Amino acid sequence: MREEAPRRTRMTQDERRRQLVGIGLRMLVERPIQELAIDEVAKEAGISRGLLFHYFPNKTAFHEAVVAAAARRVLRNTAPDEGLEPWAAVAQFVERYLEQVERRRDSYLALVFGGGPVTLDGALVADLRASMGERVRALLDLSEVHAPTTRSWTAYVEDRALNRTPVREGALAEETDHCVRALRALLDLDPPE
């Protein structure tokens, strides 16, 4: 008996792009962006490699779309709960960010520092850092004057996240507290009583 080919579903251009980026995001969880193979993505989507390039002009454009989606995911996953006191919201953001990087450390390293044959637009990573700085300023109701400080602090938190040793009991809370105290010091604020 002959096996029937799976039925193809017609998608709009936007639906297909979202599908392809979604497949790329799922693969990004398991491997760095540099190892994201176009052929595998196309095969999983049930389309040809050539058709994938109808939706993205080249491999770099596809990788950049996946990276941009990954950055949006990081921002979504690290958003603090509504209604928290401002500094508690900052602490929750830091904790969630540290956990996010810990879960996806290799992919995050490849994303931020590159390596391999894929060279991405550094502006995508800079935009992620800037968005995180904007989030902190919004949570604390800080003016744009504090943008360099929150951007620097965000880079500091990222460095701490990437250089953390494996988790031990209480380490996440200690690291979160350290990062929040560092921000208070940078903003020249007294620690809470």
Instruction: Identify whether 6 is part of a domain.
Output: no
Residue with tokens 């491999």: 59
Domain range for 91 is 13-186
Output the domain CATH number for residue 45.
Answer: 1.10.357.10
For residue 35, tell me if it sits in a domain: yes
Residue 7 confidence (pLDDT): 56
3-state secondary structure of 193: coil
Q: Is 192 within a domain?
A: no
Rounded Cα–Cα distance for residues 75 and 97 (Å)? 9
pLDDT for position 128 = 82
Q: What is the number of structural domains in the chain?
A: 1
Instruction: Name the packing angle between helices 38-45 and 13-28 (round to 10°).
Output: 120
Burial of 67 (0-12, 13-18, 19+ CB in 10 A): buried
pLDDT digits (tens, 9 = 90+) for 17-66: 999 999 998 888 777 777 888 999 999 999 999 999 999 999 989 988 98
Residue type, 84: L
In a domain, 191, yes or no: no
Residue 8 resides in a domain: no
What residue type is 128 in one-letter code?
A: L
Q: What is the pLDDT of residue 117?
A: 45
pLDDT tens-digit profile of 74-124? 899 999 999 999 999 999 999 999 998 888 777 777 666 655 444 455 666
Confirm whether 2 is domain-assigned. Answer: no
Q: Distance (Å, rounded) from C-alpha 26 to C-alpha 30?
A: 8
Task: Note the pLDDT tens digit of each residue in 132-184.
Answer: 999 999 999 999 999 999 999 999 999 999 887 766 777 899 999 999 999 99
- Would you state the structure tokens that stand for residue 99, as one six-digit string? 């956990």
**Model pLDDT, residue 108:** 75
* Domain assignment of residue 4, yes or no: no
Q: Is residue 106 part of a domain?
A: yes
pTM equals: 0.78
